[in-house]
Structure 1
Amino acid sequence: MTAEPRPVFRFAPSPNGDLHLGHALSALVDHAMARAAGGLFLLRMEDIDVTRCRPEYERGIVEDLAWLGITWDGPIRRQSEHFDAYRKAMDRLWARGLVYPSFLTRTEIKARVEAAEAQGRIWPRDPDGAPLYPGDDRGLDEKAVEAAMIAGKPYAFRLKIAEAIAAANALAGPLDWTETGVGPDGEAGTIAARPERWGDVVIARKEVPTSYHLSVVVDDALQGVTHVVRGLDLFHATSVHRLLQVLLDLPAPVYHHHRLVLDETGRKLSKSFGDTSLKSLRAGGATPADIRKLVGLPPG
């Protein structure tokens, strides 16, 4: 009799700063769920941003996880070592006419949005609050695109969201995912995906042949991940991930989104704001038991 395959979980931080309490909560919840299920627990470094991600931050992550008592199975996967896999996935989307190069800068987009709003128009925004891309470049012909690239203009490759959704629906019907956590409005169970809320999302850039959305679904498939445990801030992004999984014929994991650790103002902890790191807490005498208490978990 063939044994059932073991479930596979993963923790995937970006080594662009020190881990904080929010990361600790995610890693501890993820690890506990993996071990309770008798599954594998993988560690992945999401380091596609080679300018901000550094070896010393990776070493710090490894030290912090070991200090918390978290162990992982197999070698660490680094996204920066697998750009070819992401490039192949992007090429498949390009070949189907679902991708286009976009040339508007953030400054140009901001100016466009401000001008529209000054005239009383409401500019659509994604679930994170960012304005949707205008999509001016969709109709550029090959000569115009080539000229812009030769001129050295920065660009990103974006998904033609409407066409992509139509293609995915033709393949698999309405998109959804299985949620074992709880969404921001109490959602659980089977969740209807709404990738249209994100507009023409970026899936690769001029200097990097991928984006978070593309690399995460490719990696999860290549690593055989069956359960994705992550913070509630990525709940809505799952819609984009389900869309890409269908378009690239990749399996769909079960998703579990957990609560976030917030500061006294209700803001999510962030590396960019210099929130208290595990490294500094440890140096100040904190114990792993203290960290569990700080993030609202029972003693281990």
Structure 2
Amino acid sequence: MKGRFAPSPTGPLHFGSLIAAVASYLDMRCRGGHWLLRIEDLDPPREEAGASDAILRVLESYSLHWDGEVRWQSQRGEVYQHALQQLIDQQQAFACRCSRKQLAGAVHLGNCHSVSEPSANTNNRTNTGIHNPSDDLDAAWRFLCPHGELTFHDALQGDYHSQLSDIGDFVIRRRDKLWSYQLAVVVDDADQGITHITRGIDLIDSTPRQLLLQQALQLPTPSYCHLPVALEPNGQKLSKQNLARPLQPDPTGNTLWQVLQWLQQQPPKELQGAGNEAVLQWACQHWQPMRLQGLQSQPAPAEYRR
């Protein structure tokens, strides 16, 4: 079994990041599985200088030691290009120059006026305006979303239903030539043999898109477990975008103890101050994620809020 923690280097880790890291780590360690680390450095304009190194240092300071080498998505462009070409060859991806203004807030449903020839029937979903990526079009590439409903079972949240017409044709390579999270994560999860994905419920809406890509690329589907998110006092989730307080190294084990308490694992008080290794050893022996079943959010501890 293999799990992974996959942060993006857009800023320092925060308490919410540590929740996801610890839960995914424990979910694998208690099964005797491997825990991998992947840096999702796909968006250079949004990345913060030094954030990747800081993430590695903080994880190591909490004794969250990963298996194997760190994977860097910025080095994987050729593999993502191969996946895109497969989708194009299958007529499941198409080039698109539609702007946000043209879409006016609506989902994209195959009507690609700006790429199709003037004489083409732009109201026909089978006319996808497919081009070879080597043409270097000034365009994004979208996945041609099918019709219907998609349902998957989440270990904590139960059955999750998604109307595909609400998703529409989503971007898999951006117009500025950067790869989308959706395509890259699917390709890398399959390549790394990921069997279990444990992450925040803020990413559950991405799962139907990833399932569609897995099906189209004939890749295996992992088991999903979406955790509740930690909230600021104003109801926003802790995130880098919302300027969550950076996580500081803590060798005492107190921060990890608070993470376990937040995850409703009921760690004994005598573990406070016992050190990170001792806290993680106890947690691996007592991990019960189903205590979080159906829970979608909780307030973050006071000292980790803004």
C-alpha RMSD over aligned residues = 2.8
Higher helix share: 1
Aligned equivalent of 1:199: 168
Closer, same or farther in 2 for the Cα pair 1:177/1:246, shift >3 Å? same
Cα deviation digits, residues 217-276 of structure 1 (max 9, x gap): 100000000000110011121111111101100001000111001111111112122111
Give the letter aligned to residue 296 of structure 1: W
The 8 Å contact of residues 201 and 228 in structure 2, kept in 1 or not, is answered as yes
Paired with 1:258 and 1:33, the residues of 2 have a C-alpha distance of 12
Closer, same or farther in 2 for the Cα pair 1:74/1:276, shift >3 Å? same
Aligned equivalent of 2:35: 41
Gapped regions of structure 2 (runs ≥ 5)? 120-128, 268-278, 280-306
Cα deviation digits, residues 96-128 of structure 1 (max 9, x gap): 22222222333444xx34xxxxxxxxxxxxxxx
Cα deviation digits, residues 184-226 of structure 1 (max 9, x gap): xxxx1x5455443211111112333521111111000000000
Gapped regions of structure 1 (runs ≥ 5)? 1-6, 114-130, 167-173, 183-187
Aligned equivalent of 2:90: 96
TM superposition score normalised by structure 2: 0.73
The 8 Å contact of residues 15 and 247 in structure 2, kept in 1 or not, is answered as yes
Secondary structure of the residue that 1:17 maps to in structure 2?
coil
Secondary structure of the residue that 1:255 maps to in structure 2?
strand
Cα deviation digits, residues 30-51 of structure 1 (max 9, x gap): 1011100100000000111123
2:2 to 1, 8, 16: 8
The 8 Å contact of residues 43 and 178 in structure 2, kept in 1 or not, is answered as no
Secondary structure of the residue that 2:44 maps to in structure 1?
coil
2:139 to 155, 161, 174: 155
The count of aligned residue pairs is 252
Give the letter aligned to residue 27 of structure 1: A
- Give yes or no for the alignment of 1:258 onto 2:227: yes
TM superposition score normalised by structure 1: 0.75
- Give yes or no for the alignment of 1:84 onto 2:83: no
Closer, same or farther in 2 for the Cα pair 1:276/1:239, shift >3 Å? same
Closer, same or farther in 2 for the Cα pair 1:267/1:292, shift >3 Å? farther
- Give yes or no for the alignment of 1:293 onto 2:258: yes
Closer, same or farther in 2 for the Cα pair 1:139/1:57, shift >3 Å? closer
Aligned equivalent of 1:238: 207
Point out which structure has higher relative CO (alpha carbons under 8 A, 6+ apart): 1
The 8 Å contact of residues 140 and 171 in structure 2, kept in 1 or not, is answered as yes
